[in-house]
Structure 1
Amino acid sequence: MFCFFVTRQVDQTGVVVSILDISQRKAAELELTNTIGSLQAVLDSFPGAIGFLKAVSHGNSDDFEVVVCNLNYAALFQMSVEQIIGKYASELYPSELQQTIKEVLETGKPFYEENFNATENKWIGLSVTRHDHGLVITALDITVLKEAENQHALWMQELIGSNQMLQSLDNMREYSLKRGEFLRSTSHDLRGSFGIIMGATALLDIMDTEEERTRTLSMIQRNLRQVASMMNQLLDLSRLETGQETLQITQFDAAEMLTQLVQSITPMANDKGLWLRFDGPQSLWITGDIVKVQRIAQNLIVNAIKYIQKGGVTVSWGSEDTEESNAPRWQFIVEDTGMGISSVLIEKLTNNSEKTGLQEPVLHIHEENSKLKSSNSSSGEGIGLFIVKRLCELIQANIEITSRPGEGTKFVISLPTYYNEH
């Protein structure tokens, strides 16, 4: 495609015609338009509201103009993205928040507060951060985290007023404190991802090359996926801890379910240059909760693929040889070629002496794995393994783990072939 800019000047001596080839400039403008569209799609996939406001002069005072935002940000003010772009902070926010925004720009000190929306019964976390010539404002629904914190506070109150033995009281208080530390760690990880997203969003406005924009978009997408994954796991954990998960017993073919699960995860392994194999009878009919069994297997397989660097993962299944013929069981095994996990972590995951649901492995899972696995480990891994343990307790499954440093880890999940009616 060719584009030309033509000018014509007429005077007494004749006509002067100038023709300028602007094809490259038009192509660059088109490429920039496509990049902006990609950025908007990325921002719109963010679960919260996010907007970048640029410092400007408006009337006789300093103000802030909305330059970039996502759909959720515009929806806060009952507008579309097109309508809100160009609006000023003085038109959108109350005077108290306007003053806070100005202080963040002047001091460079980030602002964060949590507010309860009684109308929608939600907790909202509001963050304002300075980035060079403007501010990034985000708002995120943190109701799940606040409910977990409230549950933690309630447990502490109940512990203080209980008449349990001193040793039991001390053990439970220690767990509650560690659980609080874990919640703070998870919250810190989430805010860290938000910080990266906010910083990258602000930088996009001043980047000069397409390569820089593409690299930054990729970084934003990775962090958005991490945030979404962690929020989903927190929701799962919240449902488990509040007793919202119940058994849904049906008859199903475990072999077919596991085969389809492995086939759906295989592309993820291939992307890392790993293999994912499965072995077992073609059919294995049992009764149980197919959704929860699938969640356990998926957590273990995905976790293994995420943290091993070479080799792969083997998934196998079959009937279990038991001496009690009136209580038949079956099992599936997830074995990887990773770095292995510590004996301390194995003890935390397989300890059945604390079946009250108040186990304390969450914080330790994060700490131990951060030493044994890649530097990309996060609290999300601890949440995932904690969910596996709680789901196993719910469906009366046993966990057996063997691991050798530098060679790999083997998870054996043993489950009832059928459940007695109560």
Structure 2
Amino acid sequence: MECPAVTELLGLIKSELTDSEQAEKEDEKQKIHLELRIGKILVCGAIIKSGLIDSATEQELQSVLKTLKKNMHEMLTPLVYAFLNELVNRLDAATFSKVFWPVFEAVLNVPKESHTIDSVFFLLQLSTGRHKKLINSKYFERNFGVPKLLHEDNFDFLAKLLFGVGTTIGINHPFYECLLEQLSKKNAMVPFWCNSIVPVLEQETEDKPKHRNLIVLRMAISMLGRMEDYTLVPEVLHPTFVKFLVNDLKNRSKYSEDVRNLYQEVCTALLACYPKMQDEGARLATFRRLMNAPGSVLIDKYANCKLLQNLLVLLSADSLRTVANELQTFILDETTGTSAERSYAAQVLQRILSLRQLTPATNGTTNDKEHVEKWHQEL
């Protein structure tokens, strides 16, 4: 069966998907209008995804673009941008400038205050894709006041978009992953996290974004999974984030199972970083971030996955001695921590003393054995 031409499909939109005034009730009218919008968008999407658009005339392409633009309506906007992204990747620079841009300039060539998470997601793909020479520094200077979308002076605006989603479904928007991917390529992922995501955790309860905690957890999971420079793990464990994590792990029984699983995923993602951390300083700094206030030695109990003990076995003998001395000081100082923390710290200290890194080696020298035994006795 021969595939219908683009003109035929556009004709079907006009003949079969035209607004009807038969419905009397307002809610019925709205439902019909929504269904018609969806139908028009899907027909245009089929034209694009089938490849028919490649042989379309300029007039046909313009009709498809205008139909998509006209039906960009609230929850349908992400679907329109998904089809547009596939379409623009098929267009050469000349067609993009001559046909696409005149139709969508009124939507895209506007100040950043007029942009949404959907339009910025589209711009991010344009500015890193085949049309990056057209969506360039001049465009971003004019509309965003920065030379590029991922400029550090634009981080707060991007974070505001992430935290601005109104539903839990919105947290699954592809912009989250796309943004982290592009930030990672520019070695800007951790600075973005520290400077624009973590500070939102310091906002007062009544001022915090609706889905703040879920968004932070999702970002943390994705970011830890994308890490390439593991010396930056201690920076990801910003004191504000660690305080948030410890407190919510401690009280996670009040959350739903899905939310509890998110907290566990953060811990699992962090554990997965441990074997890849080759820098001893980073390992020790990570341990300290988790153990010292606003962290807690009890995080092992709260997380149910031994975040501290799994890191202990990877530390060098020198680092273990440093940790042991710090634990000893913590245990003996009754003004710091709680009795439960000091009691558990004593258990961790016992665990350290039994680790093979700190046990006298059978093939070591007499001086080595005496040094280790003396240190054990002092503790």
**Does TM, normalized by the shorter one, top 0.5?**
no
How high is the TM-score relative to the length of structure 1? 0.22
Higher strand share: 1
